[in-house]
Homo-oligomer: A and B are copies of this chain.
Amino acid sequence: MVGIMDGEHVRERIGGVNQSGVRDYNERLLLSMLQRNGPAAGGDMARRAGLSPQTVSVILRKLERDGIVKRGEPVRGKVGKPSIPMELNPDGVFSFGLKVGRRSADLSLLDFTGQVRKQLHLSYTYPMPQEVFGFLETGVAQLAADLDEDARARLCGIGIAAPFELWKWHDLVGAPEQDFLSWRELDIAQIVGQFSDLPVFVVNDATAACRAEHLFGKTKDYRDYAYFFIGSFIGGGVVLNGTVYEGNQGNAGALGSMRSTGPLGESRQLIDVASIHLLERRLVEAGLDTDMLWGHPQDWSQLSRYVDPWIGETAQELAKAALSICSVIDFEAVVIDGAFPENVREELVERVQRYLANQDVRGLIPPEICEGSIGENARSMGAASSPIFTQFLLNTNAGLSSI
């Protein structure tokens, strides 16, 4: 089995490959194919993977025995024996995902196919470790208690999505610097380890959202793309070679730090000119209630007087940033999502496309600009998908060398 059952976690190897590495690779490959393209018969998968039908058969039967894939309905109507499509077993793997945000935290229980089975929510004025991890501890216990014994044994980890260097936020969120600095000293894995034996994965929040979009989103199947997630603060993620790329230091896709230039030629960062907190500030200045921004379901239609110009400015900045991004890596597309209503996303993407047409693209292959499809939940879903990805799916950026 790929990982969880025998407690075999992620090893960082430098080097050579042996047969069990091959088996692990091929297992992950088949699971990734099912994850990405949906149910498929063994013979079909063999053809696509370039493996012999027998090999695929052996691997699939083992995965079936382990309960992480299951047989679908036989497909009749063609000559010959009907084919039996195999599919991921939704109940085969479960995972927790915690998103730590500017104003709230979400805890999701995800199944193997990316369905959010349960979700808990916590609001605050700003996040503090004790409260957040208290929420996580009780939440994990509560959600796990609702599962039957078999499902509980199939919990494969806890993913935690938080902004990079959260402790530097104190001025932005209005928290006392001294208190907030305690985030810095935190060993998250150690804290979580005190109340759970599940493996813990800490990820950048926007990278988590990117992973959710990549694994579970409806976006076209691009091999390489950059991803924006516009929340209180804008962030980004990067997909290379069909796999989310976190970066050697875990800080790839820090697109909020892209340089922009103000009207007076002064240097700014994207985070200062293309984030929802700008819109929020304008609402505050206008004496309006900012809770309208974060309602469930989200509806910004009452705010169009403030939202429309915000979309315009944000789109302009995103268009410029998109091209700089594509100078570094020749992404096929730039995908945009965020914690806003769908019609806002749609409008934003359309405007970016329009601005892009007027940019200087010498030396570049201009990317397609398209909408993400998950929205606000992307971060906690992406957090939860990290343990699943690491233990069951194929990282095409790591080769065999670091499985």
Q: 0/1 per residue, A115-127, Cβ < 8 Å to B?
A: 0000000000000
Identify A15's interface contact among B16, B51, B271, B364, CB under 8 A.
Answer: B51
- Contact across chains for B324 and A252 when beta carbons are under 8 A apart: no
Whether, in the assembled complex, A329 has its beta carbon less than 8 Å from a beta carbon of chain B, the answer is yes
- Contact across chains for A359 and B267 when beta carbons are under 8 A apart: yes
| Chain A contacts with B in 41-60, Cβ cutoff 8 A | 48-51, 55
Complex Cα spacing A51 to B13, Å: 11
- Contact across chains for A14 and B267 when beta carbons are under 8 A apart: no
- Contact across chains for A325 and B328 when beta carbons are under 8 A apart: yes
Most buried by B among A16, A18, A252, A323: A16
A226 and B328 in contact, given A257-B363, A261-B261, A261-B265 (Cβ under 8 angstroms): yes
- Contact across chains for B329 and A50 when beta carbons are under 8 A apart: no
Complex Cα spacing A14 to B399, Å: 13
Could you tell me the distance in whole angstroms from the C-beta of A32 to the nearest C-beta in chain B? 10
Identify A320's interface contact among B48, B255, B267, CB under 8 A.
Answer: B267
Could you tell me the distance in whole angstroms from the C-beta of A23 to the nearest C-beta in chain B? 9
Residues on B with beta carbons closer than 8 Å to the beta carbon of A400: 17, 25, 399-400
Q: Please, which residue of chain B has its CB at the minimum distance from the CB of A262? A: B265
Complex Cα spacing A238 to B14, Å: 21
Q: 0/1 per residue, A243-254, Cβ < 8 Å to B?
A: 001011111111
- Contact across chains for B251 and A365 when beta carbons are under 8 A apart: yes
Identify A238's interface contact among B19, B248, B254, B329, CB under 8 A.
Answer: B329
Residues on B with beta carbons closer than 8 Å to the beta carbon of A238: 328-329
Could you tell me the distance in whole angstroms from the C-beta of A316 to the nearest C-beta in chain B? 11
- Contact across chains for A15 and B259 when beta carbons are under 8 A apart: no
Could you tell me the distance in whole angstroms from the C-beta of A226 to the nearest C-beta in chain B? 7
Residues on B with beta carbons closer than 8 Å to the beta carbon of A259: 320, 323-324, 327, 360
Could you tell me the distance in whole angstroms from the C-beta of A151 to the nearest C-beta in chain B? 31
Could you tell me the distance in whole angstroms from the C-beta of A383 to the nearest C-beta in chain B? 19
Residues on B with beta carbons closer than 8 Å to the beta carbon of A261: 261, 265
A362 and B271 in contact, given A22-B17, A248-B224 (Cβ under 8 angstroms): yes
Could you tell me the distance in whole angstroms from the C-beta of A355 to the nearest C-beta in chain B? 12
Could you tell me the distance in whole angstroms from the C-beta of A255 to the nearest C-beta in chain B? 6
- Contact across chains for B22 and A251 when beta carbons are under 8 A apart: no
Complex Cα spacing A373 to B397, Å: 28
Whether, in the assembled complex, A26 has its beta carbon less than 8 Å from a beta carbon of chain B, the answer is yes
- Contact across chains for B362 and A168 when beta carbons are under 8 A apart: yes
A252 and B16 in contact, given A263-B265, A269-B362, A360-B269 (Cβ under 8 angstroms): no
Q: 0/1 per residue, A310-345, Cβ < 8 Å to B?
A: 000000000010011111111010000000000000
Most buried by B among A14, A328, A364: A328
Could you tell me the distance in whole angstroms from the C-beta of A118 to the nearest C-beta in chain B? 32
Residues on B with beta carbons closer than 8 Å to the beta carbon of A51: 15-16, 18
A-B contact pairs, 12 of them (CB 8 A): A14-B49, A240-B240, A240-B397, A241-B248, A251-B364, A253-B329, A254-B363, A255-B327, A259-B324, A261-B261, A267-B320, A269-B363
